Amino acid sequence: MSGYLPEPPFSHDSQASTGILLINLGTPEAPTGKALRPYLKQFLSDTRVIEIPKAIWWLILNGIILNTRPKQSAEKYASIWTKDGSPLLVNTRKQTALLKGLLGERGLRNVVVDYAMRYGNPSVESVITQMRAKGVDKLLVLPLYPQYAGSSSATALDEVFRVLMKLRNMPTLRTVRHFHDDPGYIDALAQQVQAHWQQNGRAQKLLMSFHGVPRFTLDKGDPYHCECLKTGRLLAERLGLTKEQYVISFQSRFGRAEWLQPYTSATFEQLGKQGCQSLDVICPGFVGDCLETLEEIAMEGKHTFQHAGGGEFRYIPCLNDSPHWIAALADLVEKNLQGWQEVIEQDATLRQQRAQALGASC
Ligand SMILES: C=CC1=C(C)c2cc3[nH]c(cc4nc(cc5[nH]c(cc1n2)c(C)c5CCC(=O)O)C(CCC(=O)O)=C4C)c(C)c3C=C
Ligand SMILES: [Fe+2]
Ligand SMILES: [Fe+2]
């Protein structure tokens, strides 16, 4: 038996199509310790995420973390879970459907749009297998992380490459590495903040909180920190904010090592202690609301800020299904498809001409 994945038989006459694959992190199947354990095990066994020597980490993960964290995290997930499931999954599903609809409205032909999760389901392997069965021979992969990090974007792409290694007939591949400074993405963020200001007025300060990563990854060449700062600066410029009117921080520290600073939790505390009377908070590194934004920021963060003496705390939702964001996503896809659609149109014409001629198939 070969180690290849099942694929449709090759034919010159089959309708070829372009696949657009959005990849997000993944999320547990349910807000329970039982569902959290396999999810966290897969996530935290990824050597792009945890860069500690394997044997030592295996002992810590299996001996300590997987015996304590699933239950603690399950309680947090339970506090944000919706009737349709985990917010991360619900938002990714919505974004995929809206993108598909918009690309259709823009007249893109023979395009298959789908999403996969790096950890958990639907897996990258299952979705690429389905796409191949639908005749996808050109694949555009877009990890849903605006800022590139080894521990998010790169590991999502690793998974794609691993799956392609198992295909006898590989599709042509393009990847979107990042979009941290894409004008459409920055504009969608600005619209999100402005809509919030219109409804609630403007707070004293705007805090932009990005997911953190270990500090050593910056020293070893990961561009993530710089990309977050650039997104923050571009958003502030677009909103006309001075340096005193906004602050950038990093959340979700995991473990005891130093992570990127300033930490979001310490910043909430400091702003609270300084008597900040009102604070707007946005998480530009997450294109959809999830545990890290809804629980860690909108709930825990609010508590930390106000407990320290802060005033009004106003969380600004992520881009989610904002029309500005879906349009930016469609633009990003179209930009990255350049040349491919023309090839598809030409192929269709050639197929027709061949069929009209001798019925030759090669
Ligand atoms: C936005 C990009 C992300 C980077 C970079 C990232 C790095 C990173 N994360 C962990 C550990 C955990 N992250 C967890 C949740 C989580 N992380 C991201 C995004 C990035 N992580 C998202 C979108 C989510 C939310 C998932 C959801 O279901 O809503 C978790 C799980 C939750 C928990 O138990 O706290 C862990 C663990 C590390 C160690 C890391 C970089 C080294
Ligand atoms: Fe994370
Ligand atoms: Fe967190």
CATH of the domain at 107: 3.40.50.1400
Q: Is the same domain home to 129 and 146? A: yes
Which pLDDT does position 311 carry in this prediction? 98
312 assigned to a ligand binding site: no
Q: Is the same domain home to 200 and 288? A: yes
Question: For residue 168, what are the domain limits?
Answer: 17-27+86-178+323-348
Residue 264 within a domain: yes
Find out whether the beta carbon of 291 lies less than 6 Å from any atom of ligand 1: yes
Tell me the mean pLDDT per 10 residues along the chain, length 362.
84 83 98 98 98 97 98 98 98 98 93 98 98 95 99 98 97 98 98 98 98 98 98 98 98 96 98 98 98 98 98 98 98 94 76 74 60
Q: Is the same domain home to 222 and 169? A: no
Q: Is the same domain home to 201 and 238? A: yes
Q: Is the same domain home to 268 and 291? A: yes
Tell me the whole-structure pTM to 2 decimals. 0.95
Q: Is the same domain home to 167 and 209? A: no
**How far is the centre of ligand 3, averaged over its atoms, from the C-alpha of 107 (Å)?**
40
Please tell me the number of the ligand nearest to residue 215's CA: 1
Q: Is the same domain home to 148 and 23? A: yes
Distance (Å, whole) CA 18 – CA 113: 9
- Decide: 306 and 270 in contact? Cβ < 8 Å: no
**How far is the centre of ligand 3, averaged over its atoms, from the C-alpha of 247 (Å)?**
20
Q: Is the same domain home to 225 and 166? A: no
Which pLDDT does position 19 carry in this prediction? 97
Please tell me the number of the ligand nearest to residue 69's CA: 1
Q: Is the same domain home to 119 and 163? A: yes
Residue 78 within a domain: no
The number of distinct structural domains making up the chain is 2
Atom of ligand 1 nearest to the CA of 28: 28
Residue 250 within a domain: yes
